[in-house]
C-alpha cells in the first residue's frame, strides 16, 4: 500500500499568497511535517496531526514523511515560500535517491509557492526585472570558497543577486563578507534590499546603497537582494521609493 506525499509551500506567510492548490492539499492531508513556524501558518483540524521539527533537520524530516506515505498515509510536507527553492523538495528527492526502493513508488506531488524573493521584489517594484540569480549563503552544505566564487561570477555577469539564508547565530560573518566581496565589483550606489516577512503585518523592508549595507540588518528570515549596475531607484514624493531593474541592458557590463 502506498499513500501520497504532498510537498507544498505556504508562500511568505500571508495566507492570501498561498495558492488554492496548496490549500486543497492541506485539506486533503492527515499528517503534517515541517518547521514549527511554517506549520503554525496552517489552521489544522483536530483530526490532522502536526509533527514539527527544527529547521536544521531537513533530511530526517524527509525520511520520516516518506516512511509515513509509504505506509499509506496522506502526508503533507510544509515549506515556507516555494518548496523547490532552498527548501524541502530537494531534501525529499535526496531521501528517495538514497532510500529503499519502495519510496520510488510513492505518489509524490510537489506544489509550487511564492518564494521570498518574488514577494519582496513585488513590494518594492521590480528589482528582479532582468537576469538574476538566487543563492543560499549557508556554508553548512557547501564550501565557503565556492560561495565566494559564485558571488564574484554573478556580479561580473551583471546578475541581480538574491541571497537566501543570509545569516544565523551559527553563521554570523558570511553576509558581511559577501558585501566585502561585491563592493569592488559593483557601483557604490547599487541598491541592496533587506526584505523580511513580505506581505505580513510584521513586514520590514529596507533599501540602502551597497556602500552602506550592514549585515546586522538581516536575520535568518531575511531575503537580501543586491541590484545589478542597471538597477535604479524611483523617488516618489507621496509614496515609498520604487526599485527596479530595466528589461533592457543598455551597455556591456565590465
- Report the run of H or E that residue 208 belongs to, with start and end: strand 204-209
Cβ pair 9, 76 in contact under 8 A: no
Between CA 128 and CA 224 the distance in angstroms is 12
Between CA 68 and CA 75 the distance in angstroms is 7
Task: CB nearer to its own copies: give 119 or 186.
Answer: 119
Q: How far is the CB of 179 from its own copies (least distance, A)?
A: 18
Task: CB nearer to its own copies: give 123 or 183.
Answer: 123
Task: CB nearer to its own copies: give 50 or 185.
Answer: 185
Total interface residues for its own copies by CB under 8 A: 81
Q: How far is the CB of 105 from its own copies (least distance, A)?
A: 5
Q: Which of residues 21-80 bind its own copies (CB under 8 A)?
A: 21, 24, 58
Q: Which of residues 76-105 bind its own copies (CB under 8 A)?
A: 82-86, 89-94, 96-97, 104-105
DSSP H helices in the chain? 20-28, 36-39, 58-70, 88-98, 116-124, 144-157, 174-182
* The three three-digit cell numbers of residue 109, written as one number: 506531488
Q: Is 184 in the site for its own copies (CB under 8 A)?
A: no
Q: Is 131 in the site for its own copies (CB under 8 A)?
A: yes
Q: Is 177 in the site for its own copies (CB under 8 A)?
A: no
Amino acid at each position: 500500500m502506498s499513500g501520497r506525499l504532498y510537498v507544498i509551500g505556504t508562500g511568505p506567510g500571508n495566507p492570501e499568497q498561498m495558492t488554492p492548490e496548496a490549500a486543497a492539499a492541506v485539506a486533503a492531508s492527515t499528517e503534517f511535517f515541517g518547521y514549527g513556524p511554517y506549520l503554525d501558518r496552517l489552521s489544522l483540524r483536530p483530526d490532522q496531526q502536526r509533527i514539527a521539527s527544527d529547521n536544521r533537520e531537513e533530511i530526517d524530516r524527509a525520511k520520516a514523511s516518506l516512511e509515513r506515505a509509504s505506509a499509506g498515509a496522506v502526508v503533507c510536507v510544509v515549506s515556507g515560500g516555494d518548496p523547490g527553492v532552498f527548501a524541502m523538495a530537494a531534501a525529499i528527492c535526496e531521501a528517495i535517491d538514497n532510500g529503499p526502493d519502495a519510496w520510488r513508488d510513492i505518489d509524490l506531488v510537489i506544489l509550487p509557492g511564492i518564494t521570498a524573493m518574488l514577494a519582496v521584489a513585488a513590494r518594492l517594484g521590480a528589482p528582479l526585472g532582468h537576469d538574476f540569480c538566487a543563492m543560499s549563503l549557508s556554508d553548512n552544505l557547501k564550501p565557503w570558497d565556492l560561495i565566494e566564487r559564485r558571488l564574484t561570477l554573478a556580479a561580473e555577469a551583471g546578475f541581480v543577486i538574491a541571497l537566501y539564508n543570509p545569516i544565523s547565530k551559527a553563521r554570523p560573518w558570511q553576509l558581511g563578507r559577501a558585501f566585502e566581496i561585491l563592493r569592488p565589483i559593483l557601483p557604490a550606489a547599487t541598491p541592496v534590499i533587506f526584505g523580511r516577512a513580505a506581505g505580513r503585518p510584521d513586514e520590514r523592508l529596507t533599501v540602502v546603497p551597497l556602500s552602506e549595507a550592514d549585515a546586522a540588518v538581516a536575520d535568518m528570515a531575511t531575503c537580501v537582494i543586491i541590484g545589478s549596475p542597471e538597477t535604479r531607484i524611483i523617488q516618489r514624493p507621496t509614496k515609498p521609493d520604487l526599485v527596479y531593474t530595466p528589461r533592457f541592458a543598455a551597455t556591456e557590463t565590465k
